[in-house]
Homo-oligomer: A and B are copies of this chain.
Amino acid sequence: MNARRIISGAFVLALAVLAPSPVRPSGDEGMYPLSEILKLDLRAKGLAIPPEEIFSPDRPSLVYAIVSVGATGSFVSPNGLFLTNHHVAFSAVQAASTPERDYLTDGFLAGSRAEEIQARGMTARITESFRDVSADVLAAVKPGMPLAERTKAVEKRMKEIVATAEKANPGKRAEVSEMFLGKSYVLFLFTFLKDIRIAYVPPRGIGEFGGETDNWMWPRHTGDFAFLRAYAAPDGSPADFSPKNVPFKPKRFLKVDPAGLAEGDFMFLLGYPGRTYRHYPAAYLAYEEDFRLPYVADWYGRQIDIMEKAGAGDPAAALKLSSRIKGLANTMKNYRGKLKGMKKIGIVAAKAAEEKGLEAFLAADTKRQAAFGDVLAGLGKIYAEMRGRGDAELVLEYLRTNTTLLGFGWTIHEAAIERRKPDLEREASYMDRNWEQTKQRLLLAQRNFDASSDKAILKELLLRALRLEGPNRIAGLEALFPGKPSEAAIEPFLAKAYAETKLADAGMLSDFLGRTPDGMKAANDPFLALAAAIAPATFEVRERQKARKGALDGLFARLSDARELFLGKAFIPDANGTLRLTFGRVKGYSPADAVYNPPFTTLAGVLEKATGEAPFNAPPGLASLRKARDFGRFAHPLLKDIPVCVLYDADTTGGNSGSPVLNARGELVGINFDRTYDATINDYAWSEGYSRSIGVDIRYVLWLTQKFARADFLLEEMGIR
């Protein structure tokens, strides 16, 4: 189908010309919010059930089976069992593992519910309802407000709406999401589950088969799935982890279809895609391509090197760092893929061409020109300013977020300030409703603390910070480390700090975080001193960012209006972590000249790649099962083999990990977990030629669960016999 109703048409057309090997259209750009689902003619696209079955506020439709777990999951039984990706559960599995009892390496199967283990750090949210609150939010903006004040007023109003909603809906969580920047806001209500447990995860040699080598790649052979279970208090209400809790009863769970999909089939998925930038101007894309993506990819690579060095010959450290390395490597490769794609497709030039058209359209009418003529130039100016401040802003951010002990010091420092303020005026993580989770996150990070890599990372960041020039200089740090920046100037401080700090101790950290603001400040730790040294610059950046956001909000709202006039159509908002639907078809693609990749991989392919060594260390059991052709009912009828992964042209991004892949009848037939390397630029643009996402085929999941893990009881719980 060729329909492209609510999208940025001119831009996509420009890209389509440049895209390699276009294929028969069948998918569609678009991550549709709940409010759009019923407006789509999904029956015409291939859906075999009434769209109201997917979403309707007044019945237990499919969306109530979907959970946000950072990424996405979906209930597959009436007893809280849900499916997501192995990589989504990874850090919880890591947290439950020790070198002696290594569930990451060996996998974990609970023989009964009593044996299920806590998935530390995981929570699950179910979207219960939503309501447009744009007018309410924007009423907080007064004409002539200073830009930073505008942002603060909007933030405060959003918090007030949340507080009111949570008061009116006891036990629910509320959140206001910005849909179109500066223009529209939606209030969501969630059921918020806090007791999540691990029922079955395969060994890393299946769940992460191919590792970073195959990550963002097709053909793919990763069994990237995990069975988790949500628990609630005996009365069904959300509760913290407790042995007394009982399996949560979802309003709706998905039926699993063990027949899977065939090539060309219609499919759709539901999930929580994180963030896309398709409505952003060329100036922003250039900032990404020229500055942010290469900076971050390089810095993450550097951190991985440091951590791998720390983990070499130290299995305990390697295990502690594994989840962070995985996350960094994932982003690094994604960014490198984006950079390759942006250059290949000439995405900035294509966007600039669309903007040239828009400018001509505005210039052709004096009223339009007066209303919108300054928007693109205004945006360009802001991104130029942002680029000038980029190094300093990233370094200050990474000082707080990429280090463990300074991260703790910072939180203590900031909490002592924030926690004195009225609740609604605090930064979000210090508000009463979030403070417990903030503390838990820190304590989890403390479990993975590794001094040697933490120190090396902090040293490198301090050097970068001390080398900043002009307006970006950080006076607080220069006072602490006077003279020419050098390792020698920093080393003694760090040696002393890591030796003397009390924050590396879980008990002490917990103790500090439990104190009053004054008590926290009194801790007198070297990392508190360092936090104090970066505080003025950090607060200055934050104020500047709020002012920038205030300016951008106004400009983006007007850009959106101008583009609607220009292109003569409505848009759907960029992904923003809220529940979305996307659809497409099972379809191969041609990533390069004389290469065609069909849309299914097979168990034979797993064994072709298997070397016995990580990341291609498929357990030997797979080879024996395949040799015996012990496929149960799960073989692909044409391939005569177990299908492992499946490719489709639905529109996804990060956060869609774990999204159920659904067939035309709304039954679960796969679990989304990745995109192709070419599709890493989905965040900026979508194309029928290169946008392909990857799911693990439900037949592989079920076959592994039955034949490899011998967990028939899980299949039975899903109604599969």
The chain B residue sitting closest to A606, CB to CB, is B593
Instruction: Determine if A601 is an interface residue (Cβ-Cβ < 8 Å).
Output: yes
Pick the residue among B344, B594, B605, B608 that contacts A218 (CB under 8 A). B594
CA distance A601 to B596 in the complex (A): 12
Contacts of A449 in B (CB 8 A): none
Contacts of A600 in B (CB 8 A): 594
CA distance A602 to B600 in the complex (A): 26
CA distance A597 to B604 in the complex (A): 18
Whether A596 lies near B593 (C-beta < 8 A) is: no
Within 8 A of B (CB), among A315-348: 344
Whether A219 lies near B592 (C-beta < 8 A) is: yes
Contacts of A594 in B (CB 8 A): 218-219, 597-602, 605
Give A626 Cβ to nearest chain B Cβ, in Å.
Answer: 12
Decide yes or no: A608 and B219 within 8 Å by CB, A593-B602, A594-B597 being known contacts.
no
Instruction: Determine if A20 is an interface residue (Cβ-Cβ < 8 Å).
Output: yes
How many positions in chain A have a CB within 8 Å of any CB in the partner chain? 20
Whether A221 lies near B593 (C-beta < 8 A) is: yes
Instruction: Determine if A44 is an interface residue (Cβ-Cβ < 8 Å).
Output: no
Within 8 A of B (CB), among A175-230: 218-219, 221
Pick the residue among B595, B599, B608 that contacts A597 (CB under 8 A). B595
Copies of chain A in the complex: 2
Pick the residue among B20, B596, B608 that contacts A592 (CB under 8 A). B608
Within 8 A of B (CB), among A561-593: 592-593
The chain B residue sitting closest to A603, CB to CB, is B593
The chain B residue sitting closest to A643, CB to CB, is B594
The chain B residue sitting closest to A644, CB to CB, is B593
CA distance A434 to B74 in the complex (A): 79
CA distance A61 to B289 in the complex (A): 61
Contacts of A597 in B (CB 8 A): 594-596
CA distance A20 to B609 in the complex (A): 12
Give A643 Cβ to nearest chain B Cβ, in Å.
Answer: 10
Interface string of A395-437 (1 = CB under 8 A from B): 0000000000000000000000000000000000000000000
CA distance A219 to B592 in the complex (A): 9
Whether B219 lies near A593 (C-beta < 8 A) is: yes
Contacts of A595 in B (CB 8 A): 219, 595-597
CA distance A344 to B608 in the complex (A): 8
Contacts of A221 in B (CB 8 A): 593
The chain B residue sitting closest to A596, CB to CB, is B596
Contacts of A601 in B (CB 8 A): 593-594
CA distance A593 to B601 in the complex (A): 6
The chain B residue sitting closest to A219, CB to CB, is B594
CA distance A605 to B221 in the complex (A): 27
Give A246 Cβ to nearest chain B Cβ, in Å.
Answer: 43
The chain B residue sitting closest to A600, CB to CB, is B594
Pick the residue among B344, B592, B605 that contacts A593 (CB under 8 A). B605
Cβ-closest 8 pairs across A and B: A593-B605, A219-B594, A594-B601, A596-B596, A593-B601, A594-B598, A594-B597, A593-B602
| Sample of 11 more A-B contacts, CB < 8 Å, known A20-B604, A593-B604, A594-B605 | A20-B608, A219-B593, A219-B595, A593-B601, A594-B598, A594-B600, A594-B601, A595-B595, A595-B597, A596-B597, A596-B598
28 contacts between A and B (CB under 8 A): A20-B608, A218-B594, A219-B593, A219-B594, A219-B595, A221-B593, A344-B608, A592-B605, A592-B608, A593-B601, A593-B602, A593-B604, A593-B605, A593-B608, A593-B609, A594-B597, A594-B598, A594-B599, A594-B600, A594-B601, A594-B602, A594-B605, A595-B595, A595-B596, A595-B597, A596-B596, A596-B597, A596-B598
